[in-house]
Amino acid sequence: MSTFGLVFSLGAVLGIALPAQPPATPQKPVTDTYYTVKVTDNYRWLEKYSDPAVRKWSDDQNRYARRYIDSLPARPALFEQLKLGGRLIAPVGATPAFAHGTHKLTVGEQTFSTFQAFSYCQAFNVFDLPVVTVPAGRSAEGLPIGVQIVGLPFAEETVLAAAAIIEQAMSDN
């Protein structure tokens, strides 16, 4: 199943009404030759934001994404929780860092993908919230462990101030 199919299916289960497809992205190939290798970029046209076609495409994509984000059922409850303290501190993942190229992790008797292990940080991105990750320690193997500080929309200064406090506290230890 495609990523869009999965998101659309989840949306249907959660009662989220979305258009059948996100706005189309036309391909307008541009080919460059680097030494003897030809490289084609179908989406270079999107780099020129002053182009009215790019602005329209961007606005359409943003409207589609905003409708989806605003319709997530858990978003209002999360906002209410964040309003109580202004920010939330959460783990980045279910495990410490792992070697580049790792695809599966085993913890105890469970094996899961690295994507699943770090789904904690993905959730806040889906909710369109400001987040910063800071180191908070090391595992027994010496691997970094991070925490993420999450804030309300447009509360980046609060999130960064909390991150600075945590970084300072960790460097004092």
Single out the residue in 50, 70, 90 at which a domain terminates.
Answer: 70
pLDDT for the residue numbered 18: 53
* Residue 7 pLDDT exceeds 70: no
Do 90 and 119 lie in a common domain? yes
Do 99 and 133 lie in a common domain? yes
pLDDT in tens, 71-96: 888 888 888 888 887 788 888 888 88
Q: 63 is in which domain, residue-wise? A: 3-70
Do 79 and 164 lie in a common domain? yes
Distance between CA 153 and CA 46 in Å, rounded? 27
Residue that is written with structure tokens 């030809």 in the block: 38
Report the alpha-carbon angle 132-134-73, nearest 5: 40
Instruction: Burial-class residue 22 by CB neighbours within 10 Å (0-12, 13-18, 19+).
Output: middle
pLDDT for the residue numbered 19: 55
pLDDT in tens, 24-81: 999 999 999 999 999 999 999 999 999 999 999 999 999 998 888 888 888 888 888 8
Single out the residue in 47, 70, 93 at which a domain terminates.
Answer: 70
pLDDT in tens, 146-157: 899 999 989 899
Single out the residue in 54, 70, 86 at which a domain terminates.
Answer: 70
Do 82 and 166 lie in a common domain? yes
136 band by pLDDT with thresholds 50, 70 and 90: confident
pLDDT for the residue numbered 5: 41
Do 66 and 79 lie in a common domain? no
Do 51 and 82 lie in a common domain? no
Do 132 and 159 lie in a common domain? yes
Do 17 and 60 lie in a common domain? yes
Mean of the per-residue pLDDT values for the chain?
83
